[in-house]
Copies of this chain bind each other. A is one copy, B any other.
Amino acid sequence: MSYRVLSSDLAEHSGAEIRLAGWVHRRRVLARVTFLIVRDRAGLAQVVVPAGVAVSPEESVVEVTGTVVANSAAPGGFEVAYKAIEVLAEAEAPPVELFRPELEAGLPALLDHAAVSLRHPSRQAVFRAGAAAVAAFRATLDGLGFTEVFTPKIVGSATESGANVFALDYFGRPAYLAQSPQFYKQTMVGVFERVYEVGPVFRAEPHDTSRHLATYTSLDAELGFIRDHRDVMEVLTRVIRAMVEATGLSGVQVPPVFPVLHFSEALERCGADPGEPDLAPEHERALGAWALEEHGSDFVYVEGYPMAKRPFYTHPQPSDPRWSNSFDLLFRGMELVTGGQRRHRYADYVTALGRDTAGLDGYLEAFRHGMPPHGGFAIGLERFLARLTGAANVRETTLFPRDLHRLAP
């Protein structure tokens, strides 16, 4: 049997008889010839089939044997002159037309028929970019001495935040799906100093918006022996730069160092009331415009958010404990990543939590027995992809999204 060649490699086999395998992306039956476009994992290839030879309908899976010939009009400059076609699976007409350059179906139809619509080259490209970004996340952190960990997604108490947790029946007992690996990644700093985890997180978000999902892929990192949150930001900047580069998307302004504003400066720059507890969306947009204009950066850090708006494990700003050593990273004026320095002294946790430590014994044990100054961040993969690609809805950058209404496919 002749050797399988991918569509991208035809040029290397000019003149040879090869085997092409893939899906019937498109067939154009003319009077004297049929043009068959085969789609494989590397792209598209044109096969020239004599009139009278039956070609299976779109999305059928075929193996074509033929000779590679140069043709400047074909994609990639080469095409395959038909010798034989074997049909591996005959397909019914697809629910969305995949051969068109742009998918013409609406989002609900694309999601309902994900098994087919994801085959479109434009949809594939989004998730290939995502896989490349995750690989870059890992490679950057591996290079910095981080260890990958796998922590539990089923937890015994809904302590990280009482709201928006999914409850399940755990052998007759109540249990919950983890909203983040926060407590575990901090605990693991006590073991490996620097850890990361790529995994699902679960949020019972009762919001039906373009940016809320019930579960998404969180890229979490945490590192010990930092001076403060600025060390975390330095690692995050490296990670983001590598991830953006890996996606291959052009036009993103990603300088070696991102501008930083303190929360109080950010409010002032936006002309907001200095007592505001948070940045409004229009403030974030204004900061994004400032970063691009003044620093040529699509990214800007805001550090020092008020302690009152941050979770109990957040480390206060030593010079003024109304503020925190936490930060948001904005991309084009929208929040992309949250992170910061965490408390590390056991006594600080005791003070912060008071008597409210039910379910936190395992977590607090790490601090009781010595934890270094540490901090970290979490990147939502689907949100990152949506922001980078300019997708209007985070469901467009999720293979099989789960939300208030959607549990299938």
Contact flags A165-178 to B (C-beta < 8 A → 1, else 0): 01111110101010
> Using Cβ atoms and an 8 Å threshold, which residues of chain B touch A188?
118, 399
For window 133-150 of A, CB contacts with B under 8 Å fall at 134-135, 138, 142, 145, 147-150
Contact A365 B113 (CB under 8 A): yes
> Using Cβ atoms and an 8 Å threshold, which residues of chain B touch A124?
191-192
Copies in the complex: 2
Contact A150 B368 (CB under 8 A): no
> Using Cβ atoms and an 8 Å threshold, which residues of chain B touch A76?
none
> Using Cβ atoms and an 8 Å threshold, which residues of chain B touch A363?
115, 409
Contact B59 A89 (CB under 8 A): no
A371 CB-CB contact with B under 8 Å:
yes
A50 CB-CB contact with B under 8 Å:
no
Contact B135 A361 (CB under 8 A): no
Contact A135 B148 (CB under 8 A): yes
Interface residue range, chain A: 35 or more
Contact A204 B171 (CB under 8 A): yes
A259 CB-CB contact with B under 8 Å:
no
Contact A152 B191 (CB under 8 A): no
Contact B151 A142 (CB under 8 A): no
Residue among A24, A60, A89, A154 having the largest count of chain B Cβ atoms under 10 Å: A89
Pick from B113, B145, B359, B366: contact of A116, CB below 8 A. B366
Stretch from A10-18, A296-304, A305-313, A400-408 forming part of the interface with B: A400-408
A345 CB-CB contact with B under 8 Å:
yes
> Using Cβ atoms and an 8 Å threshold, which residues of chain B touch A134?
148
A362 CB-CB contact with B under 8 Å:
yes
For window 49-102 of A, CB contacts with B under 8 Å fall at 59-61, 88-92, 94-95
Contact A407 B194 (CB under 8 A): no
> Using Cβ atoms and an 8 Å threshold, which residues of chain B touch A345?
89
> Using Cβ atoms and an 8 Å threshold, which residues of chain B touch A44?
none
A35 CB-CB contact with B under 8 Å:
no
Contact flags A357-386 to B (C-beta < 8 A → 1, else 0): 001011101111111110000000100000
Contact A407 B156 (CB under 8 A): yes
Bound-state Cα–Cα, A345 to B61, Å = 10
Q: Smallest CB–CB gap between A169 and chain B, Å?
A: 5
Contact A169 B171 (CB under 8 A): no
Contact B362 A402 (CB under 8 A): no
Pick from B131, B198, B369: contact of A91, CB below 8 A. B369
Given A40-B193, A118-B188, 7 extra CB contacts under 8 A: A89-B367, A127-B147, A131-B149, A150-B381, A154-B166, A156-B408, A198-B198
